[in-house]
Structure 1
């Protein structure tokens, strides 16, 4: 464990901590000195496994199902976590619905609305109710986003459009909350061989040929792994990045160049 990277009082909340990337973020935060409160929406078993990763690093973990579209539920959850654990010093947003690859011309309005509610509005809710606690701790927010902000990928609008809202909220927090010592940053993910891309492969939206082509089109000639994301997230959330706010680091092997 590294000393002094995070406050000793309070916890890190990881929204979406049950996912492939989210679980590794939980583990690395624990390695770097955080107790972790992680949430899930549909997979309690994976959330329990993520909690075990945290405990394996010698830190405390609590997990709970949370519907981030429900503002009242989010407020109750964040306030209770802060009360039970002495505050909240870090908020990590690693959530988001499974994103099928569909061209804009074929996306039904109700489907786009669903993704905006689950992702953009959900992120707004957790930020809105975490901010009073983050002000008290002079804490930080890190939001997982997409490298397609910088280099648009065809048929990826259901990811890019909602995450653009996430990015705007992140920048707004950095601009408005810096006076309270709160920082907000993001990581823009390329192809990561876990989580979303594993599920999309199972559903037939992508295949091994797609993944190999993606690696070939990346300057580093490989796809990313959960640890690549988790290390960047922990860095941005920690005191190592104490003068960094409103920024986004691309975890994409150079794809966005």
Structure 2
């Protein structure tokens, strides 16, 4: 199989389902998958205008799109969306968990149980609900799951507990799926973004959670000397979902510019 064919989704029946498809990273994933021939079914939380822009970009790429406003903490709502997308598009070949809330930078001593529960509900339960809902369809297609997690699971930045802890659990979920579902031809992997000029980055800067001094210090610890972009993560997600990664499962691909070196 040639590299061009291996990265092309146009021959696959069904659709890719992406949660959090209106966000910075999620939208890049949707648009890149569409540009490579995949139909897209994506969810969004509150930003209807951003979702409409992503849907238009998917259609401009020549792919079919289904959009739904879905609370990923609601298992039934996620299942209804996935089942509907599978029926409409003739199956699901890829499921990508990219939904994630704004995560404030806090020391563990500053986190109250309610805030912690909120972040776990979206990050961990949101990812689990997608796996639970999509697994029967992904089994049928011998497809793959990809979860967007965080490099912070492996090199912990101070005050990043609300991201790293739930994402660490999501990576354990991905390994469980890989270990148990491989017999059905199902693969499961994760992508761990480092410092990205995308997604919640701009909100963290606007709220003062990331200061210029903190950004300068972080960039000095990145071998490539700069933050990454949403497309860097999308490229990794699409690679892991493609036939180029047909013998890769249960792994985490950190996209961090060399932060862990």
TM, length-normalised to structure 1: 0.97
1:249 corresponds to which of 217, 240, 253: 253
Aligned partner (choices 121, 127, 134) of residue 125 of structure 2: 121
- In the alignment, the residues of structure 1 paired with residue 73 and residue 119 of structure 2 have an alpha-carbon distance, to the nearest angstrom, of 11
The residue that corresponds to 1:10 in the other structure is 14
Deviation at 1:191, TM superposition (A): 0.5
Q: Does residue 46 in structure 1 map to residue 46 in structure 2?
A: no
**CA distance in 2 between partners of 1:211 and 1:9 (Å):** 43
Aligned residue in 2 for 1:20: 24
Query: Residue 183 of structure 2 is aligned with which of 173, 179, 183?
Result: 179
Distance 1:241 1:181 in 2: 13
Unpaired runs of at least 5, structure 1: none
Q: Which residue does 1:31 correspond to in 2?
A: 35
Aligned CA-pair RMSD? 1.1
Q: CA deviation at 1:119?
A: 1.0
User: How many residues are paired up?
Assistant: 256
Q: What is the TM-score of this pair, normalised by structure 2? A: 0.95
Q: Which of 201, 207, 224 is residue 205 of structure 2 equivalent to?
A: 201
Give me the whole-angstrom Cα distance separating, in 2, the residues matched to 1:151 and 1:8: 37
Q: Structure 2: how far apart are the matches of 1:71 and 1:21?
A: 23
Give 2:112's aligned residue: 108
Hey, what's the Cα distance between the residues in 2 that align with 1:233 and 1:75?
22
For residue 210 of structure 2, give the secondary structure of its aligned residue in structure 1. Answer: coil
Point out where structure 2 has 5 or more consecutive residues left out of the alignment: none
Moved beyond 6 Å, runs of 4+: none
User: Do the aligned partners of residues 58 and 208 (structure 1) sit closer, same or farther apart at CA in structure 2, a change above 3 Å counting?
Assistant: farther
Q: Secondary structure at the match of 2:149?
A: strand
Residue 225 (str. 1) matches residue 229 (str. 2): yes
> Structure 1: how far apart are the matches of 2:34 and 2:200?
23
1:90 aligns with 2:94: yes
For 2:26 and 2:223, the matched residues in 1 are separated by 25
Check whether the contact 1:223–1:253 (CA below 8 A) recurs between aligned residues. Answer: yes
Alpha-carbon offset, residue 59 of structure 1 = 1.2
- How big is the shift at 1:211? 2.2
